[in-house]
Amino acid sequence: MTDITLRQITKDSLIQFLRMKVRSEQEEFVAPNGSSIAQGEYHDDAWYRGIYAGEEPVGFVMLSIMEDKAEYYVWRFMIAAEHQRKGYGKVAMEKIVEYVKLLPNADALWLSHVEDNQEAAAFYGALGFTHTGEKDEDGELMMVLRF
């Protein structure tokens, strides 16, 4: 498989990430990258990166990193429609987990998904995330991967 890396989004790569879209049936579940990048610029705890397969941008991730509380959360995650089902998402999420494990006092990685998004639930479940039985402030189902 092509090497998957997480890289800073630059002024030169920004437009590629703004143009990325998920499959049409996923649009109700995933915020546009432009919204995520804008939010990330105004939240001190946001850490976002482009997901690359070799030199090609294929997705986007944004974490909420609160080192003072040792709370780490996958805020946004997407793989562009034309790059889905190639294994990129799985490898990217594994890299994200590796990164978070290196952060101070990290013992878990949290995320949430829209209740109707069973594809996301299955994807995260296959990576070891489990439902907590709780919902976040937006009503999304919480999942956790404990280290």
- For residues 121 and 129, the answer to whether their CB atoms sit within 8 Å is no
The domain made up of 4-146 has a fold known as Aminopeptidase (3.40.630)
pLDDT tens profile 92-130: 999 999 999 999 999 999 999 999 999 999 999 999 999
Domain boundaries, the chain: 4-146
DSSP per residue over 22-86, as a string?
--GGGTTTS--HHHHHHHHHT-TTEEEEEEEETTEEEEEEEEEEETTTTEEEEEEEEE-GGGTTS
- Per-position pLDDT tens, the chain of length 147: 689 999 999 999 999 999 999 999 999 999 999 999 999 999 999 999 999 999 999 999 999 999 999 999 999 999 999 999 999 999 999 999 999 999 999 999 999 999 999 999 999 999 999 999 999 999 999 999 999
